[in-house]
Structure formats: structure tokens, C-alpha cells
Amino acid sequence: MKVPSIKNTVQKTLDLFKVDETEIAELLESVRSNLPTTEALLIGKPQAGKSSIVRGLTGVGEEIVGKGFRPHTEHTQRYSYPSEELPLLIFTDTVGLGDVTKNTDEIIVELTTELDIENKRARILILTIKINDFATDSLKTIAENLRKKYSQIPCLLVVTSLHELYPDLNETQHPEYPPSFSEIERAFTEIKDTFQGLFDRAILIDFTLEEDGFNPVFYGLENLRDSLAELLPSAEAKTIHQLLDETVNSELGNLYKDVARRYILAFSIMAATVSAVPLPFATMPVLTALEVTMVGMLGQLYGQTISVSQAGGIISAIAGGFLAKAIGRELIKFIPGFGAVVAASWAGAYTWALGEGACAYFGDIIGGKKPNPDKIKEVMKNAFKNAKQQLNTK
């Protein structure tokens, strides 16, 4: 292909960042309908560790998880990660369990009404119980009703707060997983017996806050990840593993110093997913919609409220020569088989780099400085290189 044609295509791609909000909404709807989204219905009393499970699976902080939950129905709240527009994980949390003023039958009706709605999402029920809580009659009643009507939906029994039964209550170093304390084994066995026939798998976890001093903070996270993957369809299981991959998270710890990078990871996974189609340029508008959404969300995390068109302008300003390379990778899709894999890998790395560049951009703004194009370019270059290395090892 001639150079002028590539330049023209670059300009056309730049123009994609100027699409109106209606076009963006249509593109996002197309992406959303094809994402490997998991909907987890969290059922348990307050303080049973439901929010901790959300923190463990998303990697975001307590404050963001708390603010992220929104009223959904009278007895449920919902949190979508990384965003409402493009969720990879949707958590629905039951509220009011264990409260004598709440009607368990009403909660059951709400949950069954929700589960009766047909959608393409993979669903899983997560029953959450503290290791030392045996007043679980209302929870068992709900589980029995849901199991009877929705036996096809897998159910994971998660027993939490293990440290409350440690022989030494001052101990903050968790033992090798799984714990072998007799107190925990007896309690776990009793809980499993109580809920016999109502779950597909049962696990132990102890997720705490950093300030609590326990090490590790997310004790049993790998087992939770693997249990979810075992119970979910393959596409959703793969997404869970990517979000919690130790190698990637280690790299994130070095490259990205705040919670914004968790969202960058999620959007990078989505970009790689939607780019794996064998049609040249077909994914460019979709990637644009993804990236506009990501930049807008990162702006919010940095305290900046920006419109769709403003997000597109920021991308145009900071992307620089990366767009030409993006198009070059799209052309590789003409090669049967191999091209789509390369393009998907590139799209994930490019989105990662763009997110890091956006963080540098917004960081300068909140610091009262004018964004430095050379600094942002260098940040993107380094982030892209590291992301490509990570993705190419998968």
C-alpha cells in the first residue's frame, strides 16, 4: 500500500475521535453485547465480606467500591467494573439480610424477578458467610429458593473472616493456604453441612484492608479466582484470570502507582478482545469508542469532568505517531490466521499505553502544570513496550 494512502487512513482515524455522542453510544452498545461479562449475585449479611470480594476481584480500593455501588432495586445494589457502559464484572449485592424488619420473601421475589430477565451474561451466585456466623436461616431460605428455580446457575459458597477463629487472635500473618486450624475446619464443615445441596463448590478466604495489617491482604484470592473460573464458561473464566494474573499485576505495581491503572488493565483486555476479528479496519471505530470511554473515566478519577468530544480531543493530542502504527497492525489482518492475533495483542498494548499517557496528562493538569507532550510521548513509549512484552508471553 502506498504511503499517501496510509496517511489518508491515519487522518480518517483521527476523524473518528470527533464522532458525536449518538455514534459513540451505538458503538458501545455493540461492544457491550459481545463482551465476556460475568454477573455475580452476592448474597450474604452486612459485614460478611461481600465488598471485600469485589475489591479482591477488581483490585480497586474500598472507597471506590463503596461509591461504585448504586441502588438497583429496593433490596439490591449494583456495581459494574470497570464502567456501567462497558462492564466485565457486574456485582449485585443483596441488602437487608439478617434484618428482622426486612421481609425475606420480598427479597426472594426481587432476586427471582432479576434472574428471570434473559441476557447474554454468564451468571454465578456467591453465598457469603462469616466463619463464626451460624444464624443463617434467612440466607438458607433464599439459597433454597434460588437453587430450586435456577439449578443451572452455579453457586459458590464463600466462607470469610477466618482470622476471627485463629488460635492466636493477635496473629496477622496468615498460615500457608488452606489453613489447617481445627477451629476453622470444624466451623467450615458445619457451614457446608447446613447448606448441603445448595452450592457447587465451597472455599475459604480472608480479605482484609491494608490498614488491618494482615499478610496477605487477600488471603485465598487464587482459590477464589480458580473456583470462579471452574464454574464459569471459558470466555468469562479467561477474563477473570487476565484480571488477576500475577505477572500482569506485578508489572502494574511497577508501572502504575494508583487505582487508575486497574481500569487501564480492564480496558486493555476489552480492546484485545474486540480486536480479534479478521477484517482490516473494522475494529478501529470500536477501539475509538473504548478509548474515549476509558479516557473519560480516567479523567473522572483525576477529578476532571470531560465530555465525549473533549476525550476525543485529548486522545488526538497525546496519541501522536501511535495511530500510524495502529493502522499498520490492522493491515496485518490480511494475513490469514496470524494477523488477527497480532492486531489483538497490539490493540491491548496500545490501549494500555494510551491510558498511561492519559494519566500523565491529567496528572499535569491537577498539578497545575501544562501537559508536557514530550513527557507524555515517553511515558506512552515505555508503557507500550512493557505491555507488549507482557501480552506476548500469554
User: How far apart, in whole angstroms, are the C-alpha atoms of residue 260 and residue 393?
Assistant: 24
The H-or-E segment that residue 44 falls in is strand 38-44
Q: Give the residue, 61 or 146, on which the prediction is more confident.
A: 146
**What are 43's strand-pairing partners?**
127
* Percent of the chain at pLDDT exceeding 90: 34
CA–CA separation, 275 vs 269, rounded Å?
10
Q: What share of the chain is helix, strand, coil (3-state, %, to 5)?
A: 55, 15, 30
Mean pLDDT to the nearest integer, 309-319: 82
Cis previous bond, 71, omega within 30: no
Query: Does residue 387 contact residue 353 with C-beta atoms inside 8 Å?
Result: yes
Position 177, amino acid: Y
State the cell numbers at 55.
475489591
Tell me the pTM.
0.79
Distance separating alpha carbons of residues 168 and 162, to the nearest angstrom: 12
Instruction: State the cell numbers at 191.
Output: 457451614
The dihedral through the CA atoms of 308, 310, 311, 312 has a sign that is: positive
Which residues have C-beta within 8 Å of that of residue 172, sequence separation ≥ 6? 163, 212, 213, 214, 215
3-31: per-residue pLDDT in tens? 445 455 555 555 555 556 677 777 778 78
Task: Give DSSP secondary structure letters for 297-366.
Answer: HHHHHTT----HHHHHHHHHHHHTTHHHHHHHHHHGGGSTTHHHHHHHHHHHHHHHHHHHHHHHHHHHHH
Q: What is the DSSP letter of 174?
A: P
State the Cα–Cα distance between residues 72 and 92, nearest whole angstrom.
Answer: 8
Note the Cα 328 to chain centre separation in Å: 30
Instruction: Using the Cα atoms of residue 41, residue 43, residue 47 and residue 52 in order, give the sign of their dihedral.
Output: negative
pLDDT at residue 195 above 90?
yes
Q: What is the pLDDT confidence band of residue 252, given thresholds at 50, 70 and 90?
A: very low
Instruction: Quick: pLDDT tens for 255-265.
Output: 334 578 888 98
